[in-house]
Amino acid sequence: MTASQTRVPRSSEMLDDYLLSEEQLEAMYRYMLLSRRLEERMMTLNRQGRADFVIAGAGQEAAQVGAGMALKAGTDYAAPYYRDLGVMLVLGMTAREAMLNALGKLDDPNSFGRQMPSHWGSAKRRVLTQSSVVATQLVHAVGVALGAKMRNDPIVAFASCGEGSTSRGDFHEALNFAAIHKLPVIFFVENNGYAISERTEKEMPVPHVADRASAYGIQSAVVDGLDAIAVYQTVRPAVDQARRGAGPFLIEAKCFRMWAHSSDDDHRRYRPREELENWASRDPIALFRQRVEEDCLFPPEDLDAIESGVEVEVRAAAKWALDQPDPSPDDMFGFVYKEGDDG
């Protein structure tokens, strides 16, 4: 496959193949909204001095939720990156857990306050623990897929990253190895146009990350990352064919980073004013609602009910999490080495 064959599917042309039920569409809306409201609350807590650091996926929810819903939660392995709150929620993380994580609380199931927020990990949800070093997780997903292939275990390993990560050697090494061994890996690139302040044209000379896949003999697609349905309908077939043994697939979702890189960044220093002013028209959650309403997919009062439910849930989760115990100094010790014989 050459770069020119990189597909840019539209949701309308694919609806027939992977139709979403009303229930799934409602879940999609709920996850996106939950992700956004949680991040808004986290940012508020940050500005109040109660949360040290926030790194968010606002604007990328459609990509994250659409892709996450294409996986078998609890069966497939995921190596997401730090913006992927939406993926984590689809895989089962609760609002309370997200808030524990944001506050670095002792009971945060991701890292128990040992890592910065949004550095995900969950053994029971098959989410690989991850660091701040970008693209390392892509190779880990390849290793998981290699192990699974050796055991004829029909899982898929999902690895996501931003487009900034695709400059690193690990991205290329991961694609190369996965392609050589035809491993069931989905490389999901959320291209939000920025690696902190560096625009895409400073990161790579080709228009699409997906163009790079052809060099490794990997199938690829570009999808509108603001359209959750299109993302699902692009990722789901790739997941299905990878599970059947067809090898890896790279999907690039064209996204939009609504906020600064993190709570410590001011993106007004490097983003054009008009770009920031126009973000509202590119809000994937508003776009989803608009489409659902226009297409009469389900009644608007259901959407309102979801919104009010999410508001209540987030508020309660934040309040609850603030009262949970912080780690003590001694909580840094232990588990430097896993104890016991592995057997």
Partner 1 sequence: MAEVSVLEAVHETLDEVLAADERVFLLGEDLEAGGVFRATDGLSAKYPGRVLDAPLAESSIIGITIGAAHYGQRPIAEIQFADFIHAGFDQLCSEASRWSWRTRGEQYLPMVVRTPWGGGVHGGQHHSQSIEAYYAHMPGIKVVAPSFPADYRSLLKAALADPNPVLFLEHKRTYRLIRQEVEGAPAEDRIGKSRITRRGDDLTVFAYGLMLHESLAAAEELAGEGIECTVVDLLTLNPLDQDTILEAARATGKVLIVHEDTLTGGLGGELAGIIAEHAFEDLDAPIRRLAGPDIPPMPFHEVMESAFMPDRTKIAAAARDLAAY
Residues that bind partner 1 (CB under 8 A): 77, 111-112, 114-115, 119, 121, 123, 128-129, 131, 133, 136, 139-148, 150-151, 157, 169-170, 173-174, 176-177, 180, 334-343
315 close to 41: Cβ distance less than 8 angstroms: yes
* Shortest Å, Cβ 88 to partner 1: 15
As beta bridge partners, residue 199 has 194
- Of 126, 208, 257, 289, the active-site residue reads 257
Q: Who's near 70: CB < 8 A, 6+ residues apart? A: 232, 235, 236, 238, 239
Asked if 29 is an active-site residue, the reply is: no
H and E: helices and strands count for the chain: 12, 7
**DSSP state string for 291-337:** HHHHTTSS-HHHHHHHHHHHHHHHHHHHHHHHTSPPPPGGGG-S-SS
Beta carbon nearer to partner 1, 49 or 169: 169
Asked if 47 is an active-site residue, the reply is: no
Beta carbon nearer to partner 1, 92 or 237: 92
Q: From the CA atom positions of the chain, what is the Rg in Å?
A: 19
Asked if 257 is an active-site residue, the reply is: yes
Q: How far apart are CA 63 and CA 252, in angstroms?
A: 9
| CA-based max dimension of the chain | 59
* Shortest Å, Cβ 324 to partner 1: 16
* Shortest Å, Cβ 150 to partner 1: 7
Q: How far apart are CA 163 and CA 203, in angstroms?
A: 8
- Of 270, 271, 282, 291, the active-site residue reads 270
How far CA 313 is from CA of 34, 35, 104, 304, 308, in Å, comes to: 9, 11, 20, 14, 9
Angle between helices 95-102 and 22-47 (to 10 degrees): 30
CA proximity to 147, closest of 128, 133, 167, 131? 128
222 close to 208: Cβ distance less than 8 angstroms: yes
Which token pair is 215?
């060099």
Would you state the torsion angle of the CA atoms of residues 38, 44, 48, 52, taken in this order, to the nearest 10 degrees? 50
Beta carbon nearer to partner 1, 269 or 333: 333
* Shortest Å, Cβ 101 to partner 1: 13
Beta carbon nearer to partner 1, 114 or 267: 114
CA proximity to 288, closest of 25, 83, 9? 25
Beta carbon nearer to partner 1, 71 or 285: 71
Beta carbon nearer to partner 1, 123 or 280: 123
- Of 126, 208, 261, 289, the active-site residue reads 261
Beta carbon nearer to partner 1, 6 or 115: 115
* Shortest Å, Cβ 303 to partner 1: 37
* Shortest Å, Cβ 151 to partner 1: 8
* Shortest Å, Cβ 334 to partner 1: 7
Q: How far apart are CA 175 and CA 180, in angstroms?
A: 9
Residues annotated catalytic, as ranges: 257, 261, 270
